[in-house]
């Protein structure tokens, strides 16, 4: 069992994370498009409060000032608006809107960082010592899935679509499923680094020697 690897966990969780992120974004924005009738506070989208307490909402906002691209890419950009030429509002920067004011430059920068991160995770996961660590593969799989989910948005939409919003005791920036995968994967990675010793670093138990013990020398007369 020493040669058993968990790369399948890395790939499976990456695929599940990417799929869940994209499916949720497309479906939520299509659901809350509401035939172009917008009733939220900004007047650019719609929101749905989750009971009880009304402290969390699903929100989808749209950007009438940014035209979609032409061709096949336009279909990916406007599917949620049922074919209407309306783009979703996106975050060009990172979490908390870092760098968002730079728009194109910020999106290109974070897209490049995402590509480098995805490559680094794949290289790390291909190492035989890392692939034997189940917890590590789970963490890296979640991080990879989240990275690819937001990277897709940056390539197709020029920014990241967000729709989950907590506004209870404090105002939290709008986020998405990919962000959840990234945060959970990173936390698991930190926990493993602090509290667990990788199996590859555990010294193997000393095995008894199979060689016969040497006979003591005897003095011949």
Residues 99/93, Cβ–Cβ less than 8 Å: yes
For 50-87, give the DSSP string. ETTTT-EEEEEEEETTS---STHHHHHHHGGGTT-S-E
For 80-112, give the DSSP string. GGTT-S-EEP-BSSSGGGTTGGGTHHHHHHHHH
pLDDT tens digits, 158-176: 999 999 999 888 888 999 9
Q: What's the pLDDT at 12?
A: 98
Domain definitions of the chain by residue range: 10-199
pLDDT tens digits, 97-122: 555 556 778 899 999 999 999 999 99
pLDDT tens digits, 173-216: 999 999 999 999 999 999 998 987 765 555 454 445 444 555 55
Residues 177/17, Cβ–Cβ less than 8 Å: yes
18's enclosing H/E stretch is helix 7-31
pLDDT tens digits, 18-32: 999 999 999 999 999
Place of tokens 């989750």: 50
- As a whole number of angstroms, the distance between CA 87 and CA 100 comes to 17
Catalytic residue among 35, 40, 49, 179: 179
Instruction: Say whether 162 is catalytic.
Output: yes
Select from 96, 85, 95, 35 the least CA-distant residue to 60. 35
Helices (H), 127-159: 128-131, 134-156
Task: State the pTM of this model.
Answer: 0.85
Average pLDDT over residues 59-87: 93
């Amino acid at each position: 069992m020493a040669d058993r690897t968990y790369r399948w966990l890395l790939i499976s969780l990456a695929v599940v994370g990417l799929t869940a992120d994209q499916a949720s974004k497309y479906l939520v924005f299509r659901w809350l498009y509401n035939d172009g009738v917008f009733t939220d506070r900004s007047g650019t989208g719609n929101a749905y409060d989750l009971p009880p307490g009304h402290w969390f909402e699903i929100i989808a906002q749209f950007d009438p000032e940014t035209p979609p691209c032409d061709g096949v890419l336009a279909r990916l950009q406007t599917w949620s608006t049922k074919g209407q030429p309306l783009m979703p509002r996106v975050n060009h920067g990172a979490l908390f809107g870092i760098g968002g004011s730079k728009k194109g430059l910020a999106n290109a920068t974070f897209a490049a960082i995402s590509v480098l991160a995805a490559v680094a995770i794949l290289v790390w996961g291909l190492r035989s010592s890392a692939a034997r660590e189940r917890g590590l593969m789970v963490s890296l799989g979640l991080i990879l899935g989240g990275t690819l989910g937001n990277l897709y948005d940056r390539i197709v939409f020029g920014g990241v679509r967000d729709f989950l919003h907590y506004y209870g005791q404090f105002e939290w920036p709008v986020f998405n499923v990919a962000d959840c995968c990234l945060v959970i994967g990173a936390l698991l990675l930190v926990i493993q680094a602090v509290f667990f010793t990788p199996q590859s670093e555990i010294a193997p138990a000393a095995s008894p020697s199979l060689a016969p013990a040497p006979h003591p020398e005897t003095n011949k007369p």
